[in-house]
């Protein structure tokens, strides 16, 4: 039997050593899915007094959901990190080693988000005696699938009603109450194939795509520059991520496509789901087909909310982020939500991902102070 973790560092190490790679794309390993990690978290929650269960979302990929019994009628407060990680392809360290050296804990998920999850869980452990006596009933969920699709958060938001959600992420010392919307778009150019010795007989889809992208960069740059700057998030951005086209060097390509990443402001997204942005795109590259692949939700919680202020008083000021997270799913369902946790997003998804050991300890102290501030009387 594996001994129970004796510290937040040991807990974070145990979580990192459980492979729970999101299967989307190239996971870089056969060790995919969140089942084992969810089972570990459920056991830990039960050991500190919670009632916990696994709730299947996809085969072998459940959410783990628990709560600490309390007297009825209290508002519900949810702590909600995610259990999946991104691919381990290209990592230069053992992704599941969980080793500590030079004051850092290394491995996939150490920063995003098994370190923040460990800090939350350890704070709950250290506060377990007071949890039934708080102003809120405390829930915890390890959400599957945040790194692609956010199906875990969507499932839980549909199943349970919460009054406030604290999503675990490495937030660089901030309480993230707002973040941009990620809209992923595919641009497709169709051409006509021909032998490359007589290119005039064909229509080069790669050139058509290239011209469209240059026009799009100019048009969106001008459009975004003309917008009022958000005081927290700045302006929206546009980035070309991938380009694919052609089948062989001596064939004029008849198909080419690019995937672009738009990071839009909540106000843009909420006022018509970015229809104006797509109008500008359509006018800039009329010869390209525009296909929306993915659109996240906007996070735009009122920073004056009492619990946001309590979290800020604990030493992490309110702020915004260019990335998106599960907090937006609950926000879209009408629940005030924020993201907060130890560590930095700069270490997330990297080839040698790590979190500072000191940050884990500080995270435990931070969440403990927050929980203690919810005591009745």
Taking the CA atoms of the chain, what radius of gyration do you get in angstroms? 23
Going by C-alpha positions, the residue among 164, 175, 140, 141 that lies closest to residue 333 is: 164
Q: In angstroms, what CA-CA distances link 281 with 214, 217, 294?
A: 11, 9, 16
Q: What is the mean pLDDT of residues 325-339?
A: 97
Going by C-alpha positions, the residue among 284, 288, 286, 287 that lies closest to residue 214 is: 284
Dist CA 64 CA 52 (whole Å): 7
pLDDT at 233: 95
- Whether the pLDDT of residue 140 is over 80: the answer is yes
- Whether the pLDDT of residue 86 is over 60: the answer is yes
Q: What is the mean pLDDT of residues 72-96?
A: 96
Give pLDDT tens digits for 298-312.
999 999 999 999 999
Strands (E) across 112-249 are located at 137-142, 164-167, 175-179, 181-190, 237-245
Dist CA 16 CA 105 (whole Å): 9
The pair phi, psi for residue 256, each rounded to 5°, is: -155, 150
Dist CA 342 CA 111 (whole Å): 8
Q: Taking the domains of the chain in order of start, what are their residue ranges?
A: 8-178+298-372, 181-295
- Whether the pLDDT of residue 314 is over 70: the answer is yes
Task: Collect all residues with Cβ–Cβ distance below 8 Å to 331 and sequence separation of at least 6.
Answer: 297, 298, 299, 300, 301, 337
Q: How many helices (H) and strands (E) does the chain have?
A: 10, 16
Mutual angle of helices 35-47 and 114-126, in 10-degree steps: 20
Strands (E) across 34-154 are located at 51-58, 61-67, 76-79, 100-101, 104-106, 137-142
Dist CA 351 CA 270 (whole Å): 35
Topology at the third CATH level for domain 8-178+298-372:
Aminopeptidase (3.40.630)
Give pLDDT tens digits for 232-280.
999 999 999 999 999 999 999 999 999 999 999 998 887 676 889 999 9
What's the distance, CA 245 to chain centroid?
Answer: 30
Going by C-alpha positions, the residue among 116, 118, 130, 158 that lies closest to residue 338 is: 116
pLDDT at 73: 87
User: Would you say the C-alpha torsion 335, 338, 341, 346 has a positive or negative sign?
Assistant: positive
User: Tell me, what DSSP letter sits at residue 201?
Assistant: G
pLDDT at 237: 94
pLDDT at 239: 94
Give pLDDT tens digits for 47-63.
999 999 999 999 999 99
8-178+298-372 and 181-295 share one CATH topology?
no
- Whether the pLDDT of residue 1 is over 70: the answer is no
Going by C-alpha positions, the residue among 12, 6, 3 that lies closest to residue 358 is: 12
Give Dmax (Cα) for the chain: 84
Q: Kindly state the tokens that stand for 355.
A: 């979190």
pLDDT at 273: 65
Reduced to 3 states (helix: H, G, I; strand: E, B; else coil), residue 306 is: helix
Regarding pTM above 0.85, the answer is yes
pLDDT at 268: 85
Q: What is the mean pLDDT of residues 112-124?
A: 98
Residue 71's pLDDT band (cuts 50, 70, 90): confident
How many residues comprise the chain? 377
Task: Collect all residues with Cβ–Cβ distance below 8 Å to 368 and sequence separation of at least 6.
Answer: 123, 126, 127
Residue 46's pLDDT band (cuts 50, 70, 90): very high
Query: How many CA atoms does the CB half-sphere of 337 hold within 13 Å?
Result: 29
Average pLDDT, the chain: 95
Q: Quick check: 362 and 342 in contact, CB under 8 A?
A: yes
pLDDT at 24: 92
Reduced to 3 states (helix: H, G, I; strand: E, B; else coil), residue 43 is: helix
- Whether the pLDDT of residue 2 is over 70: the answer is no
Give pLDDT tens digits for 143-188.
999 999 999 999 999 999 999 999 999 999 999 999 999 999 999 9
Q: What is the mean pLDDT of residues 77-89?
A: 98
pLDDT at 294: 84
- CATH number listed for the domain at residues 181-295: 3.30.70.360
- Whether the pLDDT of residue 134 is over 90: the answer is yes
C-alpha dihedral (259, 297, 341, 27), degrees to nearest 10: -40
Share of the chain above pLDDT 70, in %: 98
């Amino acid at each position: 039997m594996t001994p129970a973790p004796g510290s937040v560092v040991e807990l974070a190490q145990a979580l990192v050593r459980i492979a729970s790679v999101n299967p989307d794309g190239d996971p870089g390993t056969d060790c995919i899915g969140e089942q084992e990690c969810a089972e570990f978290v459920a056991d830990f929650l039960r050991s500190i007094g919670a009632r916990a269960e696994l709730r299947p979302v996809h085969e072998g990929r459940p959410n783990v959901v628990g709560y600490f019994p309390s007297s009825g009628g209290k508002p519900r407060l949810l702590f909600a990190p995610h259990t999946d990680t991104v691919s381990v392809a290209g990592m230069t360290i053992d992704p599941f080693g969980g080793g500590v050296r030079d004051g850092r804990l290394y491995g996939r998920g150490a920063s995003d988000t098994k370190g923040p999850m460990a800090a939350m869980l350890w704070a709950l452990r250290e506060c377990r005696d007071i949890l039934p006596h708080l102003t809120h009933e405390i829930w915890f969920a390890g959400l599957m699938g945040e790194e692609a699709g956010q199906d875990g958060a969507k499932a839980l938001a549909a199943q349970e009603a919460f009054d406030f959600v604290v999503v675990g992420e490495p937030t660089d010392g901030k309480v993230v109450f707002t973040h941009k919307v990620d809209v992923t778009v595919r641009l497709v150019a169709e051409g006509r194939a021909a032998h490359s010795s007589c290119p005039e007989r064909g229509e080069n889809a790669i050139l058509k795509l290239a011209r469209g992208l240059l026009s799009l960069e100019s048009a969106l740059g001008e459009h975004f520059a003309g917008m009022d700057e958000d005081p927290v998030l700045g302006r929206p951005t546009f980035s070309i991520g991938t380009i694919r086209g052609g089948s062989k060097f001596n064939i004029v390509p008849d198909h080419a496509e690019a995937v672009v990443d738009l990071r839009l402001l909540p106000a843009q997204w909420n006022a018509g789901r970015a229809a104006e942005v797509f109008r500008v795109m359509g006018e800039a590259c009329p010869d390209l087909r525009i296909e929306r692949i993915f659109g996240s939700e906007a996070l735009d919680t009122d920073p004056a909310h009492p619990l946001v202020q309590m979290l800020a008083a604990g030493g992490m000021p309110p702020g915004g982020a260019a990335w998106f997270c599960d907090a937006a799913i609950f926000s879209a369902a009408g629940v005030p939500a924020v993201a907060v946790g130890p560590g930095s997003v700069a270490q997330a998804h990297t080839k040698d991902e790590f979190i500072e050991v000191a940050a884990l300890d500080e995270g435990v102290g931070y969440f403990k102070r927050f929980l203690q501030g919810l005591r009745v009387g």
